[in-house]
Structure 1
Amino acid sequence: MANGVQRDHECCVCHPGCLGRPLSGRHIHMIRLFSILACIGIGGGFGALAREGTMSLMHGIIGLPAFVSLAFVNVFGSFLIGIIFGSLEGHLNRDGTSRLKQAPHHRHLHQLPWWPNGDLTQPAVDLLQARITLQTASAISITGFLGAYTTFSAFSLLTVQLLQSGQILNAIISVVGSVCLSLLMVWIGLHVGVRIAFRKSLTGE
């Protein structure tokens, strides 16, 4: 009988006899996994289109060299990822586990009463909802959109092609410029994102 009850709880939610019965932990995990994968896929599709559009504009229409156009894509994407990560983590992650604790930018959040140990006044269901929103938004915008918008593989291929064609100086400019500027723009983006999160938290948005 116990095995029968267990099977009932783990049966497929789509089965007519299962309607209204609780889902097992395995089913909940699978639903969350496929939801996140769907978000990544949607964001990734738009990110790839945005990258192709940016490259076509800068290289095909404006006439900039391909390595300059690709460097712009990666640097701009790095700036965006800093802003989005900082704003999402700083505003939505209120359970005391924010990854911003490891970055010096978090000092801007110390004026908030719930930082850095979390908001103990919020109900657990609200904290859970905020975490789900954080995971969904991160999957769409960071892993999906910006993961497809920026491209390390194309950057590596283009750099090798520059070296093979004897354009040593352009290859050096591409590598040093892309890496250094991308790191700098992530840093600046984090600063901007944390300030956005701080203002949102103050206004209660």
Structure 2
Amino acid sequence: MARFAISDLHGCRQTFLAALDTIGLNKDDELFLLGDYIDRGPDSKGVIDTIWELERDGYRVQCLKGNHEQMCLDGTKDPNWLPIWLKNGGRETMGSFGDHMPDEQHLQWMEALPHYLETPGYILTHAGLNFRRANPMEDQDAMLWIRRWSQEVDRDWLNGRIIVHGHTPRTLSEIKENLAYLNHLPVMNIDAGCCYDLPGRGNLCVFHLDDQRVTFMPNRDR
């Protein structure tokens, strides 16, 4: 059994499938997905439907909520949030649903997603943890939105665990450097900016939790 983490798929279904094929995911493995399945890329609906298909086929997949799922949900409830979501990739998501808002089944799935998961040696969340709070696990907004927090990490509180997150895109070289310094700073950002056509980005990062290495898959959805 192996454990893998992926974040910020952003509608890139073909890249997701290629990454799973490369790592040879099997039904004894655990796949942790850290949010932002939708927006910006071409096939947000396809990404979620692929996750459901994996679950139906017996794969062990656990999913977290990202800020883009929250923006979508807020956009369906609050007219003030709708233009914010559309500006941040929501139009592409609607395009994957036939130029409509996501249907109730997909919205209910997004709503039910947890904000964090724990697995031996790791805390997994979308954006990070707020260590200015006495109990960082109580700040769910931070788990979706926080940035520039890693230098505030309380290593004693972590007690040997590593935080794995996405949300803030990094270049390949930055992620490799992050990996090299895990013993000094127990925070691993695995958002390689899959949906962006920018130097050093445009990749999906798979983090192998058991031996702390990464697999990169260049974007296949453009």
TM-score for both structures, normalised by structure 2:
0.25
Q: Normalized per residue, which structure has more helix?
A: 1
Q: Normalized per residue, which structure has more strand?
A: 2
TM-score for both structures, normalised by structure 1:
0.26
| Greater relative CO, 1 or 2 (CA 8 Å, sep 6+) | 1
